[in-house]
Amino acid sequence: MLTYITWNVNPEIFNILGFPLRWYGLLFASAFIFAYLILANLFKKEKIPIELLDKLTLYVGLGTIIGARLGHCLLYEPAFFLTHPLQILKIWEGGLASHGAAIGILFSIYLFCKKTGKKYLWVLDKLVIVIASAGFFIRMGNLMNSEIYGYPTNLPWAFIFVRENSLPSHPTQIYEGLSYLLLFFFLYKLYQKTKDKYESGFVFGAFLVLLFTIRFLLEFLKEPQVDSEKSMLLNLGQLYSIPFILVGIYFMVLRKKKQVV
């Protein structure tokens, strides 16, 4: 007889005077803290002033939150949010998109580089390492919210998300989170090996190819996020992933040819 994992975690840790502290928010904040510590270590090794990292953290933090929220609203449910624009501000009700976050981060780095004079790809190669780790924390937040799970399955490690669904389903949050954690370790090692060998941008290209390939493949196991995806051969998440993969391949080929002498 098959046994499944029953998942019925309260997404709120506690509530003080009507202000809830949620697991998702705590893990989201943890992603930034961990990223800062890793980047601080890299900056120290390369003798880069820590004040520059503080400024970068501010730019990227705002770009991530604003981009992720607008990405969900405008890419997945534009009809609703364009007719109810104030609902976009209710970020605590959920709804963040990684593709929107990616666009927000890219734009925030542009503003940072314009302000500081740093090269865009120099920043990207460092930042993508910790973005991969942030993906792990965020997917664990999705797990605590019992959201973004997969299709029903008979596998013994299937989760029954009591708050959302009575059917045993793929815990795709765990699949994706662990994939991102492995990606973080891989990119960290890749950066150490290639930073003095290839031009800036090679690690960024590898990040795009691997991250969005992971995302593309795991989408086959996920329930549709919006009703319009149910009749699509490839869902929106997969369609939005393809351009990022192609751009990543371009950067890997281009920057590998331009080896640092």
In angstroms, rounded to a whole number, what is the distance separating the alpha carbons of residues 191 and 172?
A: 28
Residue pair 113/90 in contact (Cβ under 8 Å)? The answer is no
Cβ-in-10-Å burial (0-12, 13-18, 19+) of 166 comes to exposed
Question: Rounded to whole angstroms, how far apart are CA atoms 240 and 238?
Answer: 5
Burial environment of residue 124 by CB neighbours within 10 A (0 to 12, 13 to 18, 19 or more): buried
Q: What is the pLDDT of residues 90-126, one digit of tens each?
A: 665 666 777 788 888 889 999 999 999 999 999 999 9
Paired with 198 in beta bridges are 259
Q: Do 86 and 122 touch, CB atoms closer than 8 A?
A: no
Encode burial over 11-48: b for 16+ CB neighbours within 10 A, e otherwise.
Answer: beeeeeeeeeebbbbebbebbbebbbebbeebbeeeee
Residues sharing a CB contact under 8 Å with residue 133, sequence separation 6 or more, in sequence order: 31, 34, 35, 38, 180, 181, 184
pLDDT per position as a tens digit, 4-54: 899 999 999 988 877 788 898 899 899 989 999 999 999 999 999 999 999
2 phi and psi angles, rounded to 5 deg: -75, 145
How do residues 160-211 score in pLDDT, each as one tens digit?
A: 999 888 899 999 999 999 999 999 999 999 999 998 888 889 999 999 999 9
In 3D space, the residue among 137, 245, 146 whose CA is nearest the CA of residue 181 turns out to be 137
What are the residues facing 21 on neighbouring strands?
14
The three-state secondary structure class of 124 is: helix
Please count the other Cβ atoms lying within 10 Å of the Cβ belonging to residue 108: 21
Q: What is the pLDDT of residue 16?
A: 81
In single-letter form, the type of residue at position 172 comes to T
Backbone angles phi, psi at 198, to 5 degrees: -115, 160
Sheet containing 159-161, strands listed edge to edge, beginning at the edge strand earlier in sequence: 5-7, 159-161, 168-169
Grade residue 69 by pLDDT with cuts at 50, 70 and 90. confident
Tens digit of each residue's pLDDT (9 = 90 or more) over 130-142: 999 999 999 999 9
Tell me which residue of 124, 135, 215 sits closest to 180, measured CA to CA. 135
